Amino acid sequence: MSASRPKIQEGYRVGRLTVAAPTARRKNGYMVWRCRCDCGGEILLDTRCLQRGTVQDCGCTTPVRPGQKDLTGQRFGRLVCIAPTEERGPGGGTVWKCRCDCGQECLAVSTQLTQGYKKSCGCLSHPPLKDLVGRRFGMLTVLEYAGKWDGMHRWHCLCDCGNETVVGQTLLQSGRTKSCGCNGHPPIQDLTGQRFGQLTALEEVERKNGASYWRCQCSCGNETVVRYTYLISGHTRSCGCLQKKQIVENLRLVDGTSVTILETMKHRLIKSNTSGYNGVYQEKRTGKWRAQITFKGKTYYLGCFDKIEEAVEARRRGEEMHEEFLTWYYQTHGQEKSAQKEDVQKAGLQQVKAQNVQEADYSRMMELTVLKRNQLASHSE
């Protein structure tokens, strides 16, 4: 059996510490005692810590506390740990005072050091300014120092194509930037006065994140700002008026009624419909089925019925005005629907013919396969 633990009271001594007096504090249910060190310092320790003897001074001779890993003299990247501090990191880790190979001193949490997240005082992530004037990086020749912003030193460079640009020092040294952009992307040209669809380029307004933006005037009179690449690629051809015009043309509006929507509603339900039939819904108060129809911006009440079948029949009769309107539209605006049907029929006939050809080819191939198999069987006999 293990020896009984000593009783802690005033005057009890462990290492260089002498228990002076109890306090009103508790730690995990154990009394906390005020202890005085031989050096004159004081420290608060609980009964369990004193019984175990894990702490033997106030920190004057052993800077690393019990449970802490002693990193003194250990190297982590360019950092060498000197001594622990009284500070603690976000996770409770000990903050160590470290000296970097560049001569600077910094503070680092023990977990950041042991897990490899911190390897320098910051000199690795923020390299010092170097003299790059006259040096060549790919197609770029450094002309002069341009300043520092966003945490990076910038250099004014001349490209072999004749353009000048500003590049970060790290981007030059790592080889990520080797030209002004002409190597992978064509240089930005002057578009002033050029026309792109309905747009006429007036002037360049800004360059942001390597992209050029131009102020343009549309044929409708509006002005808009468009990206350079969208203009030369044909992605943007108006201020948006062409798209609006195309939407109106696709809807085929007549007196506020869309022919396209009427044609679509024959085969598709409205998203908000819950009855399974367009224009038919059940009233929550009475529980009856109501039928209605909208035409030329007006909603017509068709009746309220006890059965859904009656409401659906009323809706079907109401849709006759849609059919009459569509018939009038096709007769007045040409045989558009007939032409569409003919195109569909032609496409269907072509598909059937192609399928028949494929089936004939497959049958012929199977016949040849069977004939060849029979020939091989006769030869083997």
Give 102-138 pLDDT, tens digit per residue: 888 999 998 889 888 888 887 776 667 788 999 999 9
- Structure tokens of 76? 């982590």
Below-50 pLDDT ranges, the chain: 1-2, 337, 344, 376-377, 379-381
Shared domain check, 283 and 222: no
| pLDDT at res. 20 | 93
Q: What is the dihedral of CA 295, 296, 297, 301, to 10 degrees?
A: -30
Domain-embedded: residue 342: no
Q: Which of 70, 293, 294 is nearest to 303 (CA)?
A: 293
Shared domain check, 81 and 15: no
Instruction: Tell me the CA distances in angstroms from 331 to 258, 335, 336, one per residue in order.
Output: 16, 7, 9
Domain-embedded: residue 85: yes
| pLDDT at res. 242 | 77
| pLDDT at res. 1 | 39
Q: Among 10, 39, 62, where does a domain finish?
A: 62
Shared domain check, 105 and 82: yes
| pLDDT at res. 318 | 79
Domain-embedded: residue 115: yes
Shared domain check, 257 and 313: yes
Whole-angstrom distance, CA of residue 115 vs CA of residue 102: 22
Shared domain check, 320 and 277: yes
The DSSP 8-state label assigned to residue 184 in this structure reads T
| pLDDT at res. 365 | 55
State the burial class of residue 80 (Cβ atoms within 10 Å of its Cβ: 0-12, 13-18, 19+): middle
Give the bridge partners for 106, in sequence order. 98
| pLDDT at res. 81 | 92
Handedness of CA 168, 173, 176, 178 (dihedral sign): positive
How many domains in the chain? 4
Domain-embedded: residue 214: yes
Whole-angstrom distance, CA of residue 178 vs CA of residue 171: 9
Shared domain check, 257 and 324: yes
Shared domain check, 270 and 226: no
Shared domain check, 320 and 280: yes
Domain-embedded: residue 263: yes
Shared domain check, 275 and 235: no
- Structure tokens of 184? 């992978």
Shared domain check, 10 and 41: yes
Q: Among 83, 98, 126, where does a domain finish?
A: 126
Domain-embedded: residue 1: yes
Phi, psi of 115 (to 5 degrees): -90, 0
| pLDDT at res. 187 | 64
Shared domain check, 325 and 262: yes
Q: Among 77, 101, 126, where does a domain finish?
A: 126
Shared domain check, 328 and 276: yes
Domain-embedded: residue 215: yes
Whole domain around residue 55: which residue ranges? 1-62
Domain-embedded: residue 350: no
| pLDDT at res. 380 | 45
Could you read off the pLDDT of 314-348 as tens digits, one per residue?
888 877 777 777 777 777 765 554 555 555 456 55
Q: What percent of the chain has pLDDT over 90?
A: 18
| pLDDT at res. 76 | 92
| pLDDT at res. 158 | 92
Counting every residue written for the chain, the total comes to 381
Q: Which of 187, 291, 200, 274 is nearest to 229 (CA)?
A: 187
